[in-house]
Each structure stands twice: as structure tokens, then as C-alpha cells.
């Protein structure tokens, strides 16, 4: 097996992921062998529906070293799943299949055979239920990592939310010095190790214009003192108001913008770059990325999904980190 192989879990079977995966296989510039963990029956049903043809090469995940892999065929670790048609409604029916897929991936990653991992989207409501806030937390728990960070990466600008998939009414309770500092530490460490420079980081306030008429103001009491504390070691500044930081002349000063909650930073980033971004989890013992999109039920079977985010994820993992330059 090629040590440069990329391990991929398809995730929710009733999603657009396999469609974009099929489209990715048409890019001849991808050199790393791709190993997909999914269902052979599901693949064949969706290939027929989407009019895609390619040979399937079934692999034994317990002995991957025996294979010489390329992308002339779909390298598949088959997980048993019994759909009646190519696309069904997202439900808990697929939970066992998704769990088995991740379990196999985790076994391979723990062996250290492969250090590059991509997962397709899952339904947080159906698969994670209320046990985990998101897939980032699910994987972090599996590898016993308490300090991890969601980084939505684009080569021009990246963002991180201090809180991830948390209801708005609970956000303020999770804004504290420790949580903000952990994100800054992981982001700085990542950029220094992978890109060779300290990133310029902007930290946003929580309230409009970083101020509040209420007695308890998180911006004054928590965020401002935390930024002052972090400045001694990192290239950070703030807090900045979220309504102006993404203006061109403001955002170009920074490599990363840290927001206090999910939509505060992901909405403007996706508005700017659309599908040209990837979701990295920092703090794991391997490189983990997911394309920056969900299952997208409304587009199932229409063959119109954009594969750019998955392409960027693969390209990102293929690059020699040390040769990457700041853009």
C-alpha cells in the first residue's frame, strides 16, 4: 500500500457525497491512491442512477499492505448496507452503516498505516443525536483529544468558531479565556508546523459592536482581557466587530478570524468563497478534513453537485506542507 494513500469515509448514504466522489475520480492530476469506506451495493445503485462507470476493487482492511493501489478503479472497503434504491430519505436506518464505516477507519488510523483522512457529511440530527455537537467532537472523543479546533480553511482566509454547533442561547456560557486560548494555541501551532509562519489572528467580540447595555458584557469582562493576555505570545488582536471585519480592507490583514459562534464566521466565509473551503480538525494525531457541505437532500440524484470542496481537501492533503507558502 502506498503510504500517501488517503482514507475516505462516505458518511451518510443518502447524501451528495458519492456523486461528488465519482466526479473527483475524473481528475487525472490526483496522484494519491484513494481508499473509500462505503457499501458496494450502494455504490452500484448510485453509479447506475448517476450514469457513472468504473471498476470496483474490493479491499481487505485488515491487510492493506498487500495492495499496490492507484485510482484506475474505486478502491473500496465494503461495509454491508442494504438500500432498496439509490437514494432514500435520511433517517436513523443508516446509523449502523455509518458507525461501522467510522469504526473501520479509526482502526486503520490507530495503526498509523494512513495519516490522511476525509469524511463525508452525516446528519447530526439522526446520527449524532444529542450525544455530540458535531463530527469534530465525535472524532475527538474517539481519539481521547480534549483540545481540538474546527478550522474552515481557504488559502486566502480561514475562520474558527470558539463554539461549534451550539444553540445561540447557550453560546455565551461557553465563552471563556480557556476556550479562546485553546483555539489560538492550536491554530498558531498548526500554521507554524505546516506553513512555517505565525498566523495573524483576529478575534471577534460576541455582542454587536463589541458592546452591550446589559450589566454583564462578555466583550469587556472576558474577550478583551483574553486578547491582552494572548498578545504576549501570539500575533493576535481584537476584539473586532463582526459586521465590519470581513470587509476587504479589514480581512486582508489577517490569516485567521476567530469568532465566538458558528454562523458569525462561517456565513461570511461561505459567502466569499462558496465551495472553495475545507473543514480541518486541529489537534488530532492525523490530518482530518471534511468537505464544507452537508448531505444536501434537495440535490440527491440530480447530478448537479459541485465537487470543488472535496477536490480542495484532496489537493490539500497531497501537497508537501513544508513547501506551501503564505498566499
The percentage of residues in the chain with a pLDDT greater than 90, rounded to a whole number, is 70
Q: Do 236 and 139 sit in the same domain of this protein?
A: no
Residue 53 pLDDT > 80 = yes
Residue 28 cell numbers, joined: 487525472
Residue 297 cell numbers, joined: 437532500
User: Following DSSP, what letter does each residue of 107-127 receive, concatenated?
Assistant: HHHHHTS--EEEE----IIII
pLDDT category at 323 given cuts 50, 70, 90 is: very low
Q: Do 172 and 291 sit in the same domain of this protein?
A: no
3-state secondary structure of 275: coil
Residue 325 pLDDT > 60 = no
Separation CA 133–CA 136 (nearest Å): 8
3-state secondary structure of 56: strand
> By C-alpha distance, which of 118, 156, 210 is closest to 326?
156
Which residues lie closer than 8 Å to 32 by C-beta, 6 or more apart? 2, 4, 5, 6, 116, 314, 317, 318
Q: What are the two backbone dihedrals, phi and then psi, of residue 76, each rounded to the nearest 5 degrees? A: -120, 130
Which pLDDT does position 129 carry in this prediction? 67
The percentage of residues in the chain with a pLDDT greater than 70, rounded to a whole number, is 96
Q: Is residue 326 part of a domain?
A: no
Q: Do 103 and 192 sit in the same domain of this protein?
A: no
Contact 8, 119 (CB under 8 A): yes
Q: Do 83 and 189 sit in the same domain of this protein?
A: no
Instruction: Name the DSSP letter for residue 205.
Output: -
Please give the mean pLDDT across all residues of the chain: 90
Q: Do 72 and 25 sit in the same domain of this protein?
A: yes
Q: Do 121 and 48 sit in the same domain of this protein?
A: yes
Q: What are the two backbone dihedrals, phi and then psi, of residue 132, each rounded to the nearest 5 degrees? A: -130, 150
Q: Do 141 and 6 sit in the same domain of this protein?
A: yes
Residue 279 cell numbers, joined: 473543514
Contact 12, 95 (CB under 8 A): no
Mean pLDDT of 104-108: 96
pLDDT category at 191 given cuts 50, 70, 90 is: very high
Task: Kindly report the CATH number assigned to the domain that includes residue 158.
Answer: 3.40.718.10
Mean pLDDT of 102-109: 96
Q: Which domain holds residue 210?
A: 149-280
Q: Do 110 and 226 sit in the same domain of this protein?
A: no
Q: Do 266 and 132 sit in the same domain of this protein?
A: no
Q: Do 202 and 132 sit in the same domain of this protein?
A: no
> By C-alpha distance, which of 128, 2, 16, 22 is closest to 73?
22
Q: Do 192 and 289 sit in the same domain of this protein?
A: no
Contact 257, 245 (CB under 8 A): yes
Mean pLDDT of 43-65: 94
Q: Is residue 29 part of a domain?
A: yes
Model confidence over 143-178: pLDDT tens digits? 999 899 999 999 999 999 999 989 999 999 999 999
Residue 191 cell numbers, joined: 500554521
Q: Do 134 and 173 sit in the same domain of this protein?
A: no
User: Following DSSP, what letter does each residue of 238-256 receive, concatenated?
Assistant: EEE-TTTTTSHHHHTT-SE
Residue 29 pLDDT > 70 = yes
Model confidence over 208-237: pLDDT tens digits? 998 877 777 899 999 999 999 999 999 999
For residue 206, how many other CB atoms are within 10 A of its CB? 22
Q: Is residue 189 part of a domain?
A: yes
- When divided into structural domains, the chain yields a total of 2
Amino acid at each position: 500500500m502506498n503510504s500517501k494513500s488517503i482514507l475516505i469515509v462516505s458518511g451518510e448514504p443518502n447524501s451528495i457525497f458519492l456523486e461528488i466522489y465519482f466526479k473527483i475520480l475524473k481528475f487525472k492530476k490526483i496522484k494519491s491512491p484513494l481508499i473509500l469506506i462505503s457499501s458496494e451495493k450502494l455504490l452500484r445503485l448510485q453509479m447506475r442512477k448517476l450514469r457513472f462507470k468504473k471498476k470496483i476493487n474490493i479491499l481487505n482492511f485488515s491487510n492493506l499492505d498487500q495492495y499496490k493501489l492507484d485510482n484506475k478503479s474505486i478502491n473500496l472497503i465494503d461495509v454491508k448496507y442494504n438500500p432498496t434504491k439509490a437514494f432514500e430519505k435520511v433517517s436513523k436506518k443508516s446509523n449502523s452503516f455509518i458507525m461501522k464505516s467510522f469504526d473501520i477507519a479509526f482502526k486503520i488510523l490507530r495503526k498509523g498505516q494512513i495519516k490522511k483522512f476525509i469524511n463525508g457529511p452525516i446528519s447530526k440530527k439522526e446520527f449524532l443525536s444529542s450525544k455530540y455537537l458535531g463530527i469534530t467532537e465525535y472524532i475527538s472523543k474517539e481519539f481521547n483529544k480534549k483540545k481540538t479546533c474546527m478550522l474552515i480553511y481557504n488559502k486566502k482566509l480561514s475562520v474558527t468558531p470558539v463554539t461549534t454547533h451550539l444553540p445561540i442561547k447557550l453560546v455565551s456560557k461557553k465563552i471563556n479565556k480557556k476556550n479562546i486560548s485553546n483555539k489560538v494555541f492550536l491554530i498558531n501551532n498548526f500554521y507554524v508546523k505546516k506553513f512555517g509562519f505565525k498566523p495573524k489572528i483576529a478575534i471577534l467580540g460576541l455582542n454587536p459592536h463589541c458592546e452591550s447595555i446589559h450589566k454583564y458584557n462578555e466583550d469587556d469582562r472576558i474577550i478583551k482581557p483574553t486578547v491582552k493576555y494572548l498578545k504576549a505570545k501570539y500575533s493576535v488582536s481584537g476584539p473586532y466587530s463582526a459586521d465590519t471585519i470581513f470587509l476587504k480592507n479589514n480581512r486582508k490583514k489577517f490569516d485567521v478570524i476567530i469568532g465566538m459562534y458558528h454562523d458569525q464566521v462561517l456565513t461570511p466565509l461561505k459567502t466569499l468563497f462558496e465551495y472553495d473551503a475545507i473543514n480541518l480538525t486541529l489537534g488530532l494525531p492525523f490530518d482530518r478534513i471534511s468537505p464544507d457541505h452537508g448531505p444536501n437532500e434537495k440535490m440527491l440524484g440530480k447530478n448537479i453537485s459541485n465537487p470543488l470542496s472535496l477536490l480542495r481537501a484532496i489537493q490539500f492533503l497531497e501537497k508537501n506542507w513544508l513547501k506551501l507558502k503564505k498566499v
